[in-house]
Amino acid sequence: MRDWQAFLGLPLWVWLFVFPTVLALYCLWKGPSAARMLQPLWRVLDKIYAFAGAVAAVFMVAILLLIIGQMVARWSNVTFPGSTEYAGYAMAATSFFALAYTLTQGAHIRVSIFLNLNAFTKFWLDALAMWIAAVTATYFARYAIKTNIMSEMLNDRTQGQDFTPEWLITFFSMFATSPLKWGELWANSAEGWVYTPVWLPQLPMSIGTVLLAVAIWDYLTRLLCYRETQIHGEVLE
């Protein structure tokens, strides 16, 4: 973790792993009182997960429209450059935006052979599995963001035939730029289409991975507060 820069005076790994673990232990200790304290945050997070699921559905519809567009273009002898790449980007966005919502709906498959032994082992093994999953997802989320940043720094561009309007790239660049420089950013933005920067289709992957990590930490705290899983309708094998 030598490249985990300090944030507000503390190493980044402390913020990402130690503080959430301390919060989880607090929930285990206080139980229902911790649940009452976290209820407002849980309601907000539930809305974010649902919104991410809706975004995933929009991208799924976009895949359908792209496939129909490819078919019509082929029948009409019209070129549709980049359609395969666009469909791939939409597929990635669908998959990653749906991760957190799928977790909350219990749609991820879990192997429960040891969870079915008794209630005591079920609780502790479930908590341990959730903690390991939360740490792993947080680790991947951190590197997904780092990959996004590196792609932008290197100005990495697609190798396909897909293009993106430059105003769209400028719009997303605003979120990583100081508001004082927005005027300069738009002044330097040209009209027309350019080869898609790789960080743009990587962005949904980073967002989806971060949401998944947050959701796992979230439902770990709910599990420890209520002493039973709050993920209902799980598919168990």
Residue 177 is predicted with a pLDDT of 76
* 9 inside domain: no
Per-10-residue mean pLDDT for the chain, 237 residues long? 64 85 93 93 96 96 92 84 88 95 86 72 89 95 90 84 82 79 78 84 94 96 89 58
Check whether residue 141 and residue 65 sit in a common domain: yes
Check whether residue 36 and residue 138 sit in a common domain: yes
Which structural domain range is residue 144 located in?
31-153+201-236
* 23 inside domain: no
Residue 15 is predicted with a pLDDT of 82
Residue 235 is predicted with a pLDDT of 47
H or E segment at 11?
strand 10-11
H or E segment at 105?
none
Check whether residue 180 and residue 126 sit in a common domain: no
Check whether residue 76 and residue 192 sit in a common domain: no
Residue 37 is predicted with a pLDDT of 93
AA letter at 222: R
H or E segment at 89?
helix 83-104
Residue 237 is predicted with a pLDDT of 44
Euclidean distance between CA atoms 45 and 55, whole angstroms: 15
**CA nearest to 129, candidates 49, 24, 210, 220:** 220
Residue 185 is predicted with a pLDDT of 77
Q: Six-digit token pair at 49?
A: 């997960």
